[in-house]
Amino acid sequence: MSKDYYKILGVEKTASQDEIKKAFRKLAHEHHPDKSSGNADKFKEANEAYSVLGDEKKRKQYDTFGAAGMGNGGFNPNDFGFDFSGYNQGGFQNGVEFDLGDIFGDFFGGGNSRNKTKRGSDIQADFDITFEESIFGAEKTIVLNKTSVCAECSGSGAKKGSKMKTCHTCNGKGRVTEVRRSIIGAFQTTHTCETCHGTGKEPEEKCPVCRGAGVTKRNQEIKVKIPPGVEEGEMIRLSGAGEAVSGGQSGDLYMRIHVKKHPLFRKEGSNLVTDLTVKLSDALLGASQTLATLDGDIVLKIPEGVAHGEILRVKGKGVPTTPRGKDGHRGDILVIVHIAMPKRLSKDAKKAVEELKREGV
């Protein structure tokens, strides 16, 4: 049964990209395997759904063909009334060599079609950021060893200064026509020339680094923009930053974000929560105390008679609110007060407490 990615994320088919992203972030936070209450299967399922619906092109293909269509173009020979139960996926039948994937790929543009634009593989990598970077956002540079466009020839496959000549395989047409035989007879197929990748030209001298391929395995620096308010486990997609491929487009890079814990603060929605221990005398009489925040130290006023567990609010020092802090609004810092009770009292202190007791305090 085909998976309903919209149902997995809990959104309508008319949902906007922002709504889809918000739904994914919520599920990723809820089911992340690192949490004691996490669910690895549901986390993986949500990632799969977001990798499709979060991409406009993949979402359009999914809406047309469903989940099955994401891998084979949505074509099933049985849907057309053919019965191939007497044949294998590929091999010989009655002396004729055939391959069902190639046959129907050429007719219907399926996953094995040679006319299909080649695309490099997607890459997934884990990325650690600080708590502060998850709140305010940051721009980071990472180094990945992957197949990338050749830095020497910029993907042309030609040696510097070398001239281009007419491709010897396709005679400059960019496409090659072949006569093929199958179980349903002989037919012609046309596909992109694998020598020139459809350009009709090939270099007189090949690039010495990539040997004419246009791509090579190397370390590549990639800049990653971390948006403000990013959640633990959230995926960031960098289009075209995946594996490169000769004569095609590069895949995508999916960065899974891991946020390091902060020694003082924890995040709850758009607010930052911290604990503050105060002396009994300060709780009774009131005081001012220095509080470290992500924006620097501030002076926090402890009101007279504050209770244990009471929450003090520092406005505008929390997490940037939607849309990603562009409006300048931020949540608050919530300070939970803990009163430190003295283990020993001097004689004068005991007298003072006795006096309070007589007053009914």
- Give CA–CA dist 227/139, Å, rounded: 9
Domain final position from 32, 48, 74:
74
Query: What integer pLDDT is reported at residue 229 of this predicted model?
Result: 86
Query: What integer pLDDT is reported at residue 361 of this predicted model?
Result: 65
Count how many domains the chain has. 2
| Closest to 234 in 3D by CA, of 21, 12, 8, 48 | 21
Cβ contact 252:120 at 8 Å: no
- Give CA–CA dist 210/157, Å, rounded: 7
Query: What integer pLDDT is reported at residue 69 of this predicted model?
Result: 57
Query: What integer pLDDT is reported at residue 300 of this predicted model?
Result: 95
Does 22 fall in a domain? yes
Does 111 fall in a domain? no
Structural domain containing residue 347: 267-358
- pLDDT tens, the chain, 361 aa long: 568 899 999 999 999 988 998 898 888 888 877 677 778 888 888 888 888 898 888 888 888 877 655 654 444 444 433 444 344 344 433 333 344 444 444 444 444 444 456 888 999 989 899 999 999 989 999 999 999 999 888 888 888 888 888 988 888 888 888 776 655 566 677 878 878 877 888 888 889 999 888 899 999 999 999 988 888 999 999 999 999 988 788 999 999 999 999 999 999 988 999 999 999 989 989 999 999 999 999 999 999 999 999 999 999 999 887 544 455 688 999 999 999 988 888 888 888 888 878 877 6
Does 35 fall in a domain? yes
Domain final position from 74, 105, 124:
74
Token pair belonging to 348: 């004068």
Query: What integer pLDDT is reported at residue 264 of this predicted model?
Result: 94
- Give CA–CA dist 320/327, Å, rounded: 9
Does 172 fall in a domain? no
Query: What integer pLDDT is reported at residue 181 of this predicted model?
Result: 66
Backbone φ and ψ of 21, nearest 5°: -65, -40
Please report, for the domain that includes residue 47, its CATH number.
1.10.287.110
- Give CA–CA dist 271/333, Å, rounded: 6
Cβ contact 56:71 at 8 Å: no
Domain final position from 74, 94, 116:
74
Most distant CA pair in the chain, distance:
109
Unique residue bearing structure tokens 């990338």: 148
Does 87 fall in a domain? no
User: Percentages helix, strand, coil for the chain, rounded to the nearest 5?
Assistant: 25, 30, 45
Query: What integer pLDDT is reported at residue 103 of this predicted model?
Result: 43
